Amino acid sequence: MSSIDSSACPCGAAATYDACCGALHRGSPARSAEALMRSRYAAYVRKDADYILQSWHPRTRPKVMSLDEDLLTWTGLTVHEHRVTGKNRATVEFSASYRGADGVPATLHEKSRFLREGNAWLYLDGEQR
């Protein structure tokens, strides 16, 4: 029996984890590149390496994924822009806040590229800003 997670979604959307990114983590397709990016952020927060790999385009996906569980604590997400750049292409620019193992706050600012194959959006790559 699976439990329902009614806590706030880590991606910052006004929904519970179970109704938001949890649905994608369980296999529902993302309706947009932004939704996929938000679900990937939530997967980093929840230390779900399998989902991160599964949502990564096979052309650029690493063979293995290791999340340094004790090194980073993700603390917030801001989406700056979601832009559809073609029929099956999109970019999402975002900032993700975190604290390192030393407790010092920092921010990752990235413009990510996504491709849609069939009804599935996949993360291709990103450029840090």
Distance, C-alpha 128 to centroid of its chain? 15
Across residues 99-124, what is the average pLDDT?
A: 95
List, as own/partner pairs, every contact residues 107-112 make where C-beta atoms lie below 8 angstroms and the sequence separation is at least 24, other chains included.
Answer: 112/33, 112/37
Name 2's bridge partners: none
pLDDT at residue number 67: 83
Domain boundaries, the chain: 21-128
Which residues have a Cβ under 8 Å from the Cβ of 47 and sit 6 or more positions away? 67, 69
pLDDT tens track for 39-65: 999 999 999 999 999 999 999 999 988
Name 125's bridge partners: 113
- CATH architecture of the domain covering 21-128: Roll (3.10)
Which range is least confidently modeled, 12-26, 55-69, 111-125?
A: 55-69
What average pLDDT does the structure give for the chain? 93
Which one-letter DSSP state was computed for residue 4?
Answer: P
